[in-house]
Chains A and B, each alone.
Chain A
Amino acid sequence: MTDSSEDKNGAAEAADTAGAAAEAGPVAETGAAPAPAGPGKPAAFLEVRDLKVHFPTDDGLVKSVDGLTFSLEKGKTLGIVGESGSGKSVTSLAVMGLHRASRRQRSKVTMSGEIWLDGKELVGADPDEVRRLRGRQMAMIFQDPLSALHPFYTVGSQIVEAYRVHHDVDKKTARKRAIEMLDRVGIPQPDKRVDDHPHQFSGGMRQRAMIAMALVNNPELLIADEPTTALDVTVQAQILDLIRDLQKEFGSAVIIITHDLGVVAELADDLLVMYGGRCVERGPAERVFAAPQHPYTWGLLGSMPRIDRDQTDRLIPVKGSPPSLINVPSGCAFNPRCPYADVPKDNLTRTVRPELRQVDGGHFSACHMAQEERERIWTEEIAPKL
């Protein structure tokens, strides 16, 4: 996750100006290295800048995502961690262009900021343009495979459909491809199971089938939203291994969204911790786990019982509950729950919203406390208790 090094070069590689999207620039060729054209174009494969997604409701404006910036290279995995209502799922839906739940909502949801995928800007892009990319260049795995697969159609026909939407091939070829994919994700007897309905699959197999469907078009960006939450641990281990292997094989960029720090530690190269619609900490996973720099990250680590330690002490939970996204606390959103809210002077935590500041290479934290102070608290007060 490099910081947005903008304007790398200005060489415009205009392959195809399809869609005639508002601000969407030229469409670069898929598969090729991103070719930024003009200022503002990022070098990274996926770059999200100051993304905001707001939903108007009867109770007020829900600021699900409120200024999120990150980038991701191909072949890398980004883990987004947060509790329910932190905006992690909305982020992924926004990248996929799926954040409008219904036609009625369409006019109301406001999304601003920039999402650059392989040199194309998606926020202002024509929905048709985004639809062409969705499923082909970017794909998604959902949490609950039973509701994400259509119960009426066979698993095979759903994969075939996903393939034929983007490829002009006959049914036979597509079916062959579907069987091939089912085989690749480890479904036994794929030539028979291809004609089964979702209910004939077990939970783990359904998740595999969804992964097969997501990968049938060799997407360059794969978003997995809580891919293993509904599964048992032994099956979860299988699926995480599968995602890791497939990423190696296809070299795609993967975003994995989860509430389980264990899953992130298992898969992610980079880690982004979300709270109240914003990023509170991000950086290389190893560094964030070794020396987290935000009290909320400490809270998450302290809340987790550990499988690898015989700890009989009490857990150290975060007090209170997550904020409402309609009334996000002023200043730092975490301040009502933060045990260190009074450490910075002048009531800073309650009045000024902290910006992400660099801790060291690639590791950022949004906290008002001085870095020395944070490091002292972590090494002296938090780490010994974990």
Chain B
Amino acid sequence: MTETTDEQNTTIPLQKTGETPEGGSADAEPLLKVRGLVRHFPITKGLLKRQVGAVQAVDGIDFDVRPGETLGVVGESGCGKSTMGRLITRLDEPTGGSIEFQGQDITHLSPGRLRPMRRDVQMIFQDPYGSLNPRHTIGAIVSTPFRLQGVEPEGGVKKEVQRLLELVGLSPEHYNRYPHEFSGGQRQRIGIARALALKPKLVVADEPVSALDVSIQAQVVNLMDDLQEELGLTYVIIAHDLSVIRHVSDRIAVMYLGKIVELADRKALYDSPMHPYTKALLSAVPVPDPKRRTQRDRILLTGDVPSPINPPSGCRFRTRCWKATEECATTEPPLVALRTGHQVACHHPENAPAEQKDSTN
């Protein structure tokens, strides 16, 4: 596990999609189209399993993922970002809404009919210890996708697996080893190799680096960058770490209690966040510079995230928001584009342009 020196300090693929600043211009068909996605987990009670409520994990979200871009999804624990990841990979079935992948509606497809699509959509998991079967060799783990899909790669499975291992910075001789012989960072590389085996188009990574040490984290982030450039991958990266998200994403969706509250290009989001929650979130991240400690105006949110079983009426953030008014309690703010490519769901947005409130949705 070496490589990833700074041999190329050029720009990473980020800029690739920077030239399509959204605005509905249908120059490229979105790879993934999500509309009104809902997932409620029922809470049942009693002998008859009567439903008494629901955890509204994801409650109506819309977004597109364009080919070649990286969409970052951030939010605190319990905001539904992981559930969202499991829904768009169809590891879980939505309660409502629709998911279109390459123009095909996959919202309620049966497992059998999903199988062809699984080739194109893969997932990288958070826990490199839990996501690899300890009884299987690395060769067996990375070749599983070929077996399941009945694919015979050129030159044979073993050769292909060894090529993949090399691709992610491991040695081909690791083929016969077991997961416990590897460190956390190496295991994460194995998980990535497995995800890339079938040459997917879309890779959903749920907290891909949060279990790793800082120095290893940087190696894996760089590896994912390189692979995207090399293989033209599209990423949806789910993470709670705003610094990591800033580094890897082209566009970023901020989630709060099952809703997207802000969706914008990286630069716009970090330079002029419009939703109060985004602003508070950004201000809360500690900056590794002791001199700045005193001069930042940090917004301290009070309290915790409310329960997704009984989310607040109207705007879900209003209970912790310093700008909340009557209106926020009664009307739920829709996610609208207040600037080109900058969608916000708020009645009192920050940094807002005075006029133009054209609703797109």
**Which residues from chain A sit less than 8 Å from chain B, CB to CB?**
83-84, 188, 202-205, 232-238, 240-241, 259-266, 268, 285-286, 289-290, 299-308, 310-322, 339, 385
Whether A286 and B291, one on each chain, are in contact in the complex, defined by CB atoms closer than 8 angstroms, is yes
Chain B residue nearest to A258 in the complex (CB): B286
Contact of A316 with B218 at beta-carbon distance under 8 Å, contacts A241-B300, A265-B293 already known: yes
B218, A303: Cβ atoms closer than 8 Å: yes
Residues from chain B with a CB closer than 8 A to the CB of A285 are 290
Of chain B, the residue at the smallest CB distance from A238 is B300
Which residues of chain B are near A260, meaning CB under 8 Å?
A: 214, 286
> Considering the chains assembled together, what is the distance between the CA atoms of A290 and B14 in angstroms?
29
Indicate if B340 sits at the interface (CB-CB under 8 A): no
Residues of chain B with a CB closer than 8 A to A259's CB: 213-214
**Chain A residues within an 8 Å CB radius of B6:** 314, 316, 385
User: Which chain A residues lie closer than 8 Å to B292 at the CB level?
Assistant: 265, 308
A204 nearest in chain B by CB position: B304
- Beta-carbon contacts under 8 Å, B291-312 to A: 291-293, 298, 300-305
Q: How far is the CB of A228 from chain B (nearest CB, A)?
A: 9
A selection of 5 A-B contacts at a CB cut-off of 8 Å is A233-B285, A308-B289, A313-B12, A315-B221, A315-B247
CB contact under 8 A between A317 and B266, given known A232-B76, A233-B240, A266-B286: no
Complex Cα distance, B286 from A203, in Å, reads 19
Chain B residues, Cβ within 8 Å of A320: 1-2
Query: Which residue of A has the minimal Cβ distance to B216?
Result: A321
Contact in complex: A318, B215 (CB < 8 Å):
yes
Taking the closest CB of chain A, its distance from the CB of B168, in whole angstroms, is 14
Q: Which of B77, B242, B271, B290 has the most CB of A within 10 A?
A: B290
In the complex, which residues 248-306 of chain B have their Cβ closer than 8 Å to any Cβ of chain A? Answer: 248, 266-267, 270-271, 280-293, 298, 300-305
Interface of chain B residues 67 through 102 with chain A (CB within 8 A)? 76-77
- Interchain CA distance A68-B216 in the complex, whole Å: 25
Complex-state Cα separation, A293 to B6, whole angstroms = 21
Asked if A315 contacts B213 (CB within 8 A), the reply is no
Q: Please measure, in the bound complex, the distance between the C-alpha atom of A259 and the C-alpha atom of B217, giving whole angstroms.
A: 12
Indicate if the CB atoms of A263 and B77 lie closer than 8 Å: no
Q: A302 near B289 (CB under 8 angstroms)?
A: no
Is B149 among interface residues, defined by CB-CB distance under 8 A? no
Is B137 in the interface zone, CB < 8 Å from A?
no
Cross-chain contact B284 with A237 (CB below 8 angstroms)? yes
Q: Which residues of B contact A (CB under 8 A)?
A: 1-6, 8-9, 11-12, 14-15, 76-77, 183, 185-186, 213-219, 221-222, 225, 240-244, 246-248, 266-267, 270-271, 280-293, 298, 300-305
Q: CB-CB < 8 A to B215: which residues of A?
A: 83, 299-300, 303, 317-318, 321-322
Q: Could you say which residues of chain B place their CB within 8 Å of the CB of A234?
A: 76, 280-281, 284, 301
User: Do residues A240 and B286 form an inter-chain contact, with CB atoms below 8 A?
Assistant: yes
Please, which residue of chain A has its CB at the minimum distance from the CB of B245? A305
B280 CB contacts on chain A under 8 angstroms? 234
Q: Are B217 and A263 in contact (CB under 8 A)?
A: no
**In the complex, chain B residues whose CB is within 8 Å of the CB of A264:** 288
- The 4 A-B residue pairs with the shortest CB-CB distance, nearest first, are A262-B286, A317-B218, A305-B247, A303-B218
- Asked if residues A319 and B12 are in contact (CB atoms below 8 Å), the reply is no
B213 and A232 contacting across the interface, CB-CB below 8 Å: no
A233-B290 contact, Cβ under 8 Å, with A307-B285, A317-B219: no
Check A236 against B218 for contact (C-beta < 8 Å).
no
Q: Which residues of B contact A266 (CB under 8 A)?
A: 286-287, 290, 293
Which residues of A sit under 8 angstroms from B248, Cβ to Cβ?
305
A265 → B minimal CB distance (Å): 5
Residues A304 and B288 in contact in the complex (CB < 8 Å), given A232-B77, A315-B247: yes
Q: Which of B15, B214, B246, B281 has the most CB of A within 10 A?
A: B214
Residue of B nearest to A316 (CB): B6
A185 to chain B, nearest CB (A): 14
B213 proximity list for chain A (CB < 8 A): 83-84, 259, 322
Residues in chain A near residue B283, CB distance under 8 A:
237
Give A306 to B300 CA distance when docked, in angstroms. 20
In the bound complex, residues from chain B placing their C-beta under 8 Å from that of A263 are 286
Most A CB atoms within 10 A — which of B14, B213, B286, B292?
B286
Given contact pairs A289-B289, A316-B218, A317-B218, enumerate 11 new A-B contacts (beta carbons under 8 Å).
A233-B240, A233-B281, A237-B298, A289-B290, A303-B214, A303-B217, A305-B241, A307-B242, A307-B246, A308-B289, A314-B225
Q: Give the complex CA separation of A191 and B300 in angstroms.
A: 25
Most chain A CB within 10 A, of B8, B243, B248, is at: B243
Which A residues are CB-close (under 8 A) to B271?
310
Q: Is B289 a contact partner of A304 (Cβ separation < 8 A)?
A: no
B284 touches A236 (CB 8 A): yes
Q: How far is the CA of A248 from the CA of B263 in the complex (A)?
A: 40
Q: Is the CB of B9 within 8 A of A313?
A: yes
Contact of A302 among B218, B267, B270, B290 (CB under 8 A): B218
User: Whole-angstrom distance from the CB of A19 to the nearest CB of chain B?
Assistant: 40
Which residue of the partner chain B has the closest CB to A244?
B293
Which A residues touch B301, using CB under 8 A?
234, 237-238
* Closest beta carbon of chain A to B317's beta carbon, Å: 11
Minimum C-beta distance from A210 to chain B (A)? 16
Set B8, B76, B266: member contacting A314, Cβ < 8 A: B8
Nearest to A306 among chain B residues (CB) is B243
A305 to B219, CA, bound (A): 12
- Closest CB in chain B relative to A144 CB, distance in Å: 14
Interface centre among A237, A290, A317, A318 (most CB of B within 10 A): A317
A327 CA to B289 CA in the complex, in Å? 34
The minimal Cβ–Cβ distance linking B275 to chain A, given in whole angstroms, is 13
Asked whether A314 lies within 8 Å of B304 as measured between CB atoms, the reply is: no
A238: chain B residues at CB < 8 Å are 300-302
* List of A residues within 8 angstroms of B219 by Cβ: 317, 319
- Min CB distance, A82 to chain B, in Å? 9
Question: A48 vs B177: C-alpha distance in the bound complex, in angstroms?
Answer: 42
User: Most B CB atoms within 10 A — which of A205, A259, A305?
Assistant: A305
Residue of B nearest to A317 (CB): B218
Q: Could you say which residues of chain B place their CB within 8 Å of the CB of A303? A: 214-215, 217-218
CB <8 Å contact, B246 and A300: no
